[in-house]
Chain A
């Protein structure tokens, strides 16, 4: 099993390396260079030359790639063209904000989704299930900006309970962030819970119909133990990958929600970077998001291995 995990890790690194190449080459292939793109109509004369010198654009592409990759390996992402400061300080606080938002939504939403999924499966086709399932479809079909707007009008305009918009400095202290993210978290949860809950429900229904759950009933076990020990671990297996994808989606910056609530996360940063033609920033963000997806998929794979004794021991036996 160790070998398998090592192999997965290596594979993840290779994937990231390929992504870094693709990102770099894609930018190279664009007509002109980063400085021309950024400066636009002013891209001439001294200004252009200075910019090129500052961002080492006069050197050959492979030299720059190696320098970039070396920097990445040491945690140095490069320099933003627009803001003329290191990218870490541009991305860092915003990524922190995104993490706070995403992880809060995940930490509240995933257990809730599993809980609701199990309930819906246990009460299959009864009123509670119909209610939970239709609510899930409702929130899956409505785009976040509508949900967000509705929530604002209800919770902050009508009831006045929660702030309707986030007003904070990018690097506000964590406490302050938490005070403001109630509605964005709720918006994200509604969508995510709906997806995961439906997956858990259908896989739980399959598992509940299996011989071993029937056997656990006929062994005289209590309903609670049947569900928690016998059924649930087996029902979660197929849902793990979906959960990982959802976390990755949250951590990659949820643009629409950030815009609706004016939240300073990396979703908005990405859009701004593209609008500003700040290519080093775009590159760094692309790579960051790729790492998040690769990393979470890796974690999902490992979690599946740990939860599923069939995979675990068969691999172990083959060694």
Chain B
């Protein structure tokens, strides 16, 4: 019994008043020795965060532990009094939350929140709290630690907030760190730094870690052991090497294949359909059976058992007969993007500059010339091309897109559409034809689709607006569009809330296509989606591009995603272009150090 943490058949869920309990986590087993790092991977809704919180004996309101035991240092958490539990939490086991910006109390200074942790979980006397906090801040490489104590959480950047949260967790010198997507909201480079810091802390202090993430790349970099979750069950567990190199479960294989990698032209669409709900519907079948390419009748009738081969556990009855996925070979985008150079220019930007500040006369007179958030951006986009605009948050990539859509005023420079229309004109003063020819797809389909309209109303709206179609024409056109984005017709009668995230984004694309645009602006359209859904979305876009000769301006922070789709890439930093060129060239021979930094932060092509 030398496990630091041991989970025995832990099930978490809720009990509806008049039916069977619904399981979010189903009989999860885990074991972790002192100093070990375990990564818990899975897509959204698979129960990984719920499982992580249950390790601290915490269940979100409405949830409860239905069965099983959580043992920390051999002690059953259920047997510990509340006082004892509060002593453990933040002490011997500490959580580093998903979104530190929201996990720090906005009305309290950092000092107050740091001192709380020290008061409860360290024997540092009150007079030395200040000094100890500064020490901890230095440990997590926070700049100007003294001044930081007097700040409020919102005055720090996302990376700083995350570091404060880490410092707070370290205050109690924990034996076990629980990390709930600790880098998800951060920029690629900040993410890399925070990961490095965490790995270093784990190594030097011999702290055990359970690391929850949807990003298998992050897990692979930080953890010795990996457990993969699907629909509330742990379906595969083993060492980092085994799981990454020789994944045994079809889901793990599919998940790995869906991860965008540099230089890979396309992520294969490995999973059809979506998660079935409720989760206890597959009580007597394999959880992944409905989406599995290898499913046999037995998968439907019997729950597979976890098979342990030398520490590599896989929950699949077909394991022996599965041939691992072959990742498609490297394939350049040139083929798809090889267009005659005499194609017309759709969009041309010359020395574009943008500002967030008001450009009004009074404002200028009071505050001087507005600060430029985007400057000297020039680019050319030809018919049928796809241009990827890559940058971290604050790089101005979305501002450029918003200006082109007419939602934000430009400051100086020129933006010309189809050689004749000025795009610095705000949306209200644009010609209806220009409005029709430029369509924008937003990042979050939950927010951009009207929840009270049916899919049919949503798609037919632009048809009526721009083309004055009759009802019958509208309907047949809407059905064609549903075909194009590969959704079944009966979805037309549904509301957005009845669709999954990926399906909603398909509707948003169909709505944009309904206007028959010459230029499609895509603002981070896959960032809110799971990797498997992202893969199928990228395939859809690629297909549409060839079929419809679409010209696409694709904005993303994710380099491999852009690489999979775009012929040309522009890398933005602090509102300026730092590198531009054909996708293949940039990925193979980056010249700017920042591009290299971005490339380094990405999971390599295996």
Contact = CB atoms under 8 A, between A and B. Distances in A.
Interface of A: 209-222, 225, 229-230, 233-234, 307-310, 313-314
A213 to B, nearest CB: 8
> Ordered nearest first, which 5 A-B pairs have the shortest CB separation?
A220-B90, A219-B90, A211-B102, A215-B103, A309-B152
Nearest to B152: A309
A151 B574 CA distance: 68
Contacts of B172: 220
A216 B120 CA distance: 12
Interface in B57-83: 58, 60-61
B241 to A, nearest CB: 32
Contact of B89 (A217, A309, A310): A217
A256 to B, nearest CB: 38
Contact of B106 (A209, A229, A234): A234
Interface in B77-103: 86-91, 94-95, 97-99, 102-103
A221 B83 CA distance: 10
B102 A210 contact: yes
Contacts of A218: 53, 56, 58, 89-90, 95, 97
Interface string B155-178: 100000000000010001000000
A7 to B, nearest CB: 14
A219 B103 CA distance: 11
A220 B107 contact: no
Contacts of B99: 211
19 contacts: A209-B61, A215-B97, A215-B105, A217-B89, A218-B58, A219-B116, A219-B120, A219-B168, A220-B88, A220-B89, A220-B91, A220-B172, A221-B116, A221-B120, A225-B116, A229-B108, A307-B107, A309-B106, A313-B154
Contacts of B97: 211, 214-215, 218
A224 B108 CA distance: 16
A292 B35 CA distance: 64
B104 A215 contact: yes
Interface centre among B58, B98, B103, B120 (most CB of A within 10 A): B103
B106 A310 contact: yes
Contacts of B105: 212-213, 215-216, 229-230, 234
A218 B176 CA distance: 13
B95 A220 contact: no
Contacts of B168: 219
Interface residues of B, number: 33
Interface in B326-360: none
Nearest to B104: A212
Nearest to B60: A214
A315 to B, nearest CB: 13
A145 to B, nearest CB: 41
Tell me the interface secondary structure of chain A in the complex: helix
B48 interface: no
A309 B107 contact: yes
A195 to B, nearest CB: 24
A176 B283 CA distance: 75
Interface in B90-134: 90-91, 94-95, 97-99, 102-108, 112, 116-117, 120-121
Contacts of A308: 106-107
A230 B120 contact: no
Nearest to B168: A219
Contacts of B116: 216, 219, 221, 225
Interface centre among A220, A230, A308 (most CB of B within 10 A): A220
A142 B53 CA distance: 46
Contacts of B121: 220
Given A211-B97, A216-B105, A308-B106, 10 more contacts: A211-B98, A213-B105, A215-B95, A215-B104, A218-B90, A219-B116, A220-B86, A220-B172, A221-B116, A230-B108
A219 B107 contact: no
A314 B152 CA distance: 11
A247 to B, nearest CB: 23
B152 A310 contact: yes
A308 B106 CA distance: 8
A221 B86 contact: yes
Contact of B102 (A212, A220, A221, A222): A212
Contacts of A221: 86, 90, 116, 120
A126 to B, nearest CB: 12
A314 B154 CA distance: 9
Contacts of B103: 211-212, 214-215
Contacts of A313: 152, 154-155
A66 to B, nearest CB: 33
A230 B452 CA distance: 36
B59 to A, nearest CB: 11
Interface centre among A212, A217, A229 (most CB of B within 10 A): A212
Contacts of A216: 105, 116
A2 B152 CA distance: 19
Contacts of B112: 229
Contacts of A211: 97-99, 102-103
B189 to A, nearest CB: 25
Contacts of A314: 154
Nearest to A217: B58
Contacts of B104: 212, 215
Contacts of A213: 105
Contacts of B86: 220-222
Nearest to B89: A220
A294 B346 CA distance: 56
B154 A310 contact: yes
A160 to B, nearest CB: 47
A229 B112 CA distance: 10
A203 to B, nearest CB: 13
Contacts of A233: 107
A176 to B, nearest CB: 43
Contact of A219 (B61, B102, B108, B117): B117
Interface centre among A214, A225, A234 (most CB of B within 10 A): A214
B389 to A, nearest CB: 29
A230 to B, nearest CB: 5
Contacts of A310: 106, 152, 154
A319 to B, nearest CB: 11
A305 B98 CA distance: 29
Interface in B388-426: none
A211 B87 CA distance: 20
Contacts of A212: 102-106
B119 to A, nearest CB: 10
Nearest to A234: B107
A217 B59 CA distance: 11
A317 B598 CA distance: 32
Nearest to B109: A309
Interface centre among B102, B103, B105, B172 (most CB of A within 10 A): B105
Contacts of B117: 219
Contacts of B108: 229-230
Nearest to A308: B107
A217 B99 CA distance: 16
B152 A219 contact: no
